[in-house]
Amino acid sequence: MSHYVHDSSYIDNNVTIGEGTKIWHFCHIQKGVQIGEKCSLGQNVNVANNVKIGNGVKIQNNVSVYEGVELEDFVFCGPSMVFTNDLTPRSKYPKGTEGYKRTLVKYGASIGANATIVCGNTIGKWAMIASGAVVTKDVPDYALMAGVPAKQIGWVCECGSVLKDELKCKECGREYSLKNENLKEKSE
């Protein structure tokens, strides 16, 4: 077998799991899910119908990835963080899948423990969402977001270090420039 699934986990029919992926205790992967290579899904992770997860994604314990959410390559989802997929849910008046709002988490973004991502938003590449933050709007590439509701408090390097005013990473040496309120690596 090219991937690992713990005996306590359930994998529905019509699921694709990439080589080297590990799915740990008490997970449920629902029908139509695509999971890339070399991913890690911690204990008690639920992945709802038709979700797409890229390569190298790490989903920590107690996370539910609901239908309408897409995680690109190398996304990190911290313990007990929350995705939503319906802005106005009612138990008595369910909308079904046509009522779900799409959420996209782009390449390399990290979401901290206990953060909440309100549906219908995009988290930019290499963005970092602080633990406990509540994201209610789109997040730019490389943005550092914190608070309730989340506000941008700075920029982060691809390596994860917080960037200072000169926009040069003291850890890895990458350099960035700010153009029209968008951060770009100088080599891009």
**Alpha-carbon distance 142 to 178, whole Å?**
11
| pLDDT band of 187, cuts 50, 70, 90 | confident
Average pLDDT of the residues in 57-82: 98
Q: Is the pLDDT of residue 1 over 90?
A: no
Average pLDDT of the residues in 161-180: 96
**Alpha-carbon distance 43 to 7, whole Å?**
12
71-124 pLDDT, tens digit per residue, is 999 999 999 999 999 999 999 999 989 899 999 999 999 999 999 999 999 999
Contact yes or no for 13/30 (Cβ under 8 A): no
Extract the tokens encoding 52.
């797409």
Contact yes or no for 176/183 (Cβ under 8 A): yes
Q: Which domains does the chain have, with CATH numbers?
A: 4-89+97-185 (2.160.10.10)
Extract the tokens encoding 66.
């609901």
Q: Is the pLDDT of residue 56 over 90?
A: yes
User: What pTM value is reported for the model?
Assistant: 0.97
